[in-house]
Amino acid sequence: MASGSLAVLKFGGSVLADGRSIPFAVAEISRHLAGYERIIAVVSAFKHHTDMLEQTARQLCAQPASDALAFYMGLGEMRTAAELTLGLQGAGVAATLRMPWDVWFLS
C-alpha cells in the first residue's frame, strides 16, 4: 500500500436499497482498506427514499422554496451516510462522517 493512497467508492441506491445493505458496504470498504490507506465512501439515499421525501415535502407545501426542498431531500443521503458510518464503527473500522459542506477541494 502506497503512503497516502486513496480510493473513492460510490454506493448508490441500487446497492444500498435499505439499512439491511449496510453490512455489504462495510465489507466492501473493509476489503478495499487492505490496498489503500484511506477510503472515501460517497453514498446516495437508500432506494426510493428521496422520492418519499419529495412526496412528503409536496404534501406539506405544494410549491416549496428550492432551498428548503433541496435540504429536506438531502436528508436521505445524510441518513445513509450516518448509518454507514455507524456500521463501519461497529465493525471496528475507524470512520468519520463528513457532510458535503465539510469538504473543500483545492485546484
Q: What is the pLDDT of residues 51-78, one digit of tens each?
A: 999 999 999 999 999 999 999 999 999 9
CA 82 to chain centre: 7
In angstroms, the CA 21 to CA 14 distance is 10
Whether the pLDDT of residue 30 is over 70: the answer is yes
Q: Is the predicted pLDDT of residue 18 greater than 90, yes or no?
A: yes
What is the reported pTM? Answer: 0.88
Rounded mean pLDDT, 84-107: 88
Q: How confident is the model at residue 101 (pLDDT cuts 50, 70, 90)?
A: confident
